[in-house]
Amino acid sequence: MINLLPPKEKEIFHSERAKKLAVILGSIVAIPLICLVFVLLAIYFFVSGDISSQNFLLNQSTQEFKSPDFSGLQTTIDKYNEILPMILSFYQKQESFSDILSTINSISKPDGLSVVNISLSDDKKNTGKIIVAISGVSPTRDNLLEYKNNISKEPAITNVLFSPESWINPKNINFSVAFDINNNGK
């Protein structure tokens, strides 16, 4: 086809064609950009809504942790956290209390003498001994003296100390005795 249009109209035709091409190319670029902006706005509103709900939950949890119940629980947890290393240290020494208790039980007791309380504690000087404190009731002073002699005969027991109050009454005596025992009990 032959173009017989004058040059001025050809120029107008080409400029209109360029404008239409610019509008088409511009809309091809602008429409995806507008869609991308809408998608980004949707994501922004979703994330900001999620952040505000998480902040609300965080503030609510923070208020809950400031309650007296939680502070009491925190105090209890702190107390047990202080005790646990001592317990771990205690068990790492692998002291056999069953042997110690069997040694204490093997000490013969006179008739009528009864043990009420036994307390075992670790020697703070790390000498490898366990400090034992026993309290009980004896019907007579002679029975208590016999029990003292039986304790002293045990080779694993040292430093036998009866309280002075144990020897005051001649009958129905509330006594207490403390001694050291080797941690292997033998």
CATH, residue 177: 3.30.1360.100
The reply to whether 63 falls in a domain is yes
The reply to whether 10 falls in a domain is no
The reply to whether 62 falls in a domain is yes
| Residue that is last in its domain, among 68, 92, 116 | 92
Alpha-carbon gap, residue 108 to 152, rounded angstroms: 11
Domain span at residue 161? 97-182
In this prediction, what percent of the chain has a pLDDT beyond 70?
A: 91
Question: Structurally, how many domains does the chain consist of?
Answer: 2
Q: Where are the beta strands (DSSP E) in the chain?
A: 114-122, 129-140, 157-162, 171-182
Based on the fold, state whether residues 107 and 145 are members of the same structural domain. yes
Alpha-carbon gap, residue 42 to 148, rounded angstroms: 88
For residue range 149-171, list pLDDT tens digits in order: 999 898 888 889 998 888 888 88
Alpha-carbon gap, residue 83 to 75, rounded angstroms: 13
pTM over 0.95? The answer is no
Q: Check residue 90 and give its pLDDT.
A: 67
Based on the fold, state whether residues 81 and 130 are members of the same structural domain. no
Is residue 86 predicted with pLDDT exceeding 60? yes
